[in-house]
Amino acid sequence: MNPSLWTVRDRLQDLAPLVLDEERETSRAVARAFSRCGFSAEEWRTLHDAPLRAFLWVATADGSVRPREREACRRVLGAGRFSLSPLVGRISSEALRQLDMLGPERLGEAPDLEPLRPLCLRVADRLGLGEAARLQHFLLDVGWRVARASNGLLGLVGCVRREERQALLSLEEALGPQDGGG
């Protein structure tokens, strides 16, 4: 075998640690930048849990979580990783990892929305109204997509059952006014 020829597999295995190191360093840099904005550890936990709270709140409104609702959440979180908002991108990536680790005991109960109440206001105070609006839009998008997925074929045309509609309204109320103001 000619040692100057590498297979694609060998080359990818050789570069994998470099890619992982670069991703870890980027993640650390983003965390340092956000910590300088004054977010506490508790606020970070709330931000990281926010997409899954929105998902579970809407998905459990009519009973247990269906696989299609979970898949709809996965698609929204996957798209959120590429958001223009660094905050939305970061919490989307974290929530996507956490989504796969949700056990049946957590999937069966509706979460508490109380921690989300001051969330958008805190983001607006520290990062600006634009960032708060993007976060709010993202969390509501998670809810709407899950609600539509819950309704199967009717959801494709935008139909949402009464239970999910009520859950969406309470989620919207918890997140605060659309303009980010008081």
pLDDT in tens, 102-133: 776 666 677 888 888 888 888 998 888 999 99
pLDDT at 36: 63
Evaluate if residue 40 carries a pLDDT over 50: yes
Distances 168 to 47, 112, 171 between C-alpha atoms, Å? 19, 14, 5
pLDDT at 92: 93
Distances 78 to 152, 155, 160, 180 between C-alpha atoms, Å? 21, 20, 23, 25
pLDDT at 66: 85
38 by Cβ neighbours in 10 Å (0-12 / 13-18 / 19+) ranks as: exposed
Residue 88 — very low, low, confident or very high, per pLDDT cuts 50/70/90? Answer: very high
Average pLDDT for residues 34-45, to the nearest whole number?
77
